[in-house]
Amino acid sequence: MERVNDLNKSPYAKSKSKKTLLKERIIKYFFTINSLVVIIIFTLIFVFLLQEGLKALDVIAIKDFVYKTVFENGEEGKLYQWYPTSEQPRFSLIPLILGSLLISIPATLISTVFGISVGIYLSEIASIKTREFLKPIIEIFAGIPTVVLGFFMLVVVASIFQDIFNPVNRLNAFLASIGLSFIIIPIISSLTEDAFNAVPKEIRMASYALGASKFQTVFRVLIPTAMSGLSASIILGFGRAIGETMIVLMASGNAAELSFELFRSARTMTATIAAELGEVSQDSAHYFALFFIGLVLFVITFILNMVAELILNRMRNKINY
């Protein structure tokens, strides 16, 4: 006993423990700094977009982002157009926002049906063996580069579509929606599966024990219970659809028109940035307008993400109780 006490009291032990303590603290700060870098990067992106995007408001009035007033034959008219390079540039974001919605809403609807089906199949119906086989396949689907899907829509599917639907434009909003749904289905399906797996087993057992059929258990018990998870997955999928660039750039036809027709060309906010930023001169009104679109996109996806996260957090708390 005395020996141990001696050892603990010895100056060597003390100095060593101090040294390790210091080392431990330095290591902890090192890791903290690295995670701080992540926050800094994110803030930097936001601040930078804000700074460059708001410069657009110095050159272009906020009203001009909605419509441009023109006088023709003595009559006042409003033009909702995106023609940033013409002599009288028009910067209305309305056709672009409309284009984004016209493509991403159908895409989200299609993906919801298919994505939730896949999620239900994987978590409730498929045997373990089938699941182990199907899950990697769905994951591979999620990993296909968007440029490949865009190319496939542009070259192969567009021709098939032309024969079936006889669209106004060969490349149109609906084609882009179908292309988009390929990348959103895996997102929705994997989140749906998670949401179903989070439902406690007892609830399922209780439902079956009361004599409910599989249909009743899935649609009357599991889906209502997992509803928050499902809605979060749909919101996240929608956010991804709004932000996706390559597929819409290649398959939507890129005509900024004010139309609600699915079989006409449409132009999204993302495709506008992608197509025009390469040719724009720095510090021009057009350049800042593109950053403004970027800011709008950033804010939209940020809000959608936050909403989805709030819903998921509430779900987790509910299930924990």
Partner 1 sequence: MKMTDIDIKSLIKNRKKTDLQTMISMFLIKFFTYSIVAVLFLILGKIVYEGSAVINRQFLTSAPQNNMTEGGIGPAIFGTLVVVFLMILFAVPVGIFAAIYMSEYAKDNVFNRILRVTVNNLAGVPSIVFGLFGLGFFVLFIGRGYDSIFGAGLFLGKPAMLWASATLAILVLPTIIVSSIEALRAVPRNQRIASLGLGASKWQTIKNVVLPQARPGILTGVILSISRGAGETAPLLFLGCAFFLPQLPVGYLDLGLFSIPMINPAEQFMYLSYHIFILATQSTNPTITMPIQYGTTMVLISIVILLNLTAVIFRYKFRQTMNEIKRV
Residue 172 C-beta: closest distance to partner 1, Å: 16
Q: For residues 75 and 279, which CB has a smaller minimum distance to partner 1 in the complex?
A: 279
Q: Tell me if 176 contacts partner 1 by CB under 8 A.
A: no
Amino acid making up residue 10:
S
User: Quick one: 242 or 266, whose CB is closer to partner 1?
Assistant: 242
Site for partner 1 in 204-233 (CB under 8 A): 212-216, 218-219
- Choosing from 137, 210, 227, 258, the residue that interacts with partner 1 (CB under 8 A) is 137
Residue 302 sits in the site that holds partner 1 (CB under 8 A): yes
Contacts to partner 1 from residues 78-107, by CB under 8 A: none
Q: Are 285 and 61 in contact (CB under 8 A)?
A: no
- The single residue listed with the structure tokens 């906020």 is 62
Min CB(119)–partner 1 separation in Å: 9
> Using the rule CB under 8 A, which residue among 96, 98, 102, 154 binds partner 1?
154
Least distance (Å) between residue 45 CB and partner 1: 5
Give the nearest distance from C-beta 270 to partner 1 in angstroms: 5
- The stretch near partner 1 (CB under 8 A) out of 4-12, 38-46, 76-84, 259-267 is 38-46
Long-range Cβ contacts of 96-101 (<8 Å, 24+ apart): 96/256, 96/267, 96/268, 96/269, 96/272, 96/293, 97/269, 97/296, 98/258, 98/259, 98/260, 98/266, 99/173, 99/252, 99/256, 99/266, 99/267, 99/268, 99/269, 99/271, 100/242, 100/268, 100/269, 100/270
Helix (H, G, I), strand (E, B) or coil at 210: coil
Which CB sits closer to partner 1, 68 or 99?
99
Closest distance of CB 142 from partner 1, Å = 8
Determine, following the binding rule CB under 8 A, whether residue 151 of this chain makes contact with partner 1. Answer: yes
- The answer to the question of residue 32 lying near partner 1 (CB under 8 A) is yes
- Spatial neighbors of 217 by CB under 8 A, at least 6 apart, are 204, 207, 208
Query: Per-residue x/- mask for partner 1, residues 250 to 289, rule CB under 8 A?
Result: x-------------------x--xx--xx---x-------
Number of residues that bind partner 1 (CB under 8 A): 84
79 or 280: CB nearest partner 1: 280
The continuous run of DSSP H or E covering 72 comes out as strand 68-72
**Least Å from the CB of residue 166 to partner 1:** 22
44 or 205, CB closer to partner 1?
Answer: 44
> 137 or 203, CB closer to partner 1?
137
CA-wise closest residue to 265 among 175, 159, 171, 162: 171
Which one, 69 or 213, has the nearer CB to partner 1? 213
Measure the CA–CA gap between 118 and 190, rounded to whole angstroms. Answer: 8
Question: Where are the strands (E) in 75-229, listed by range?
Answer: 75-79, 82-83, 90-91
By CB under 8 A, tell whether 298 contacts partner 1: yes
What is the Cα–Cα distance from 185 to 191, expressed in whole angstroms? 10
Place of tokens 């510090």: 283
Closest CA to 214 of 123, 128, 114, 130: 123
The nearest distance, CB 27 to partner 1, in angstroms, is: 5
Which positions from 52 through 71 interact with partner 1, judged by CB under 8 A?
52
- For residue 257 the two structure tokens come to 């028109």
- The one-character DSSP state at 84 is T
Among 252, 291, 311, 315, binds partner 1 (CB under 8 A): 291
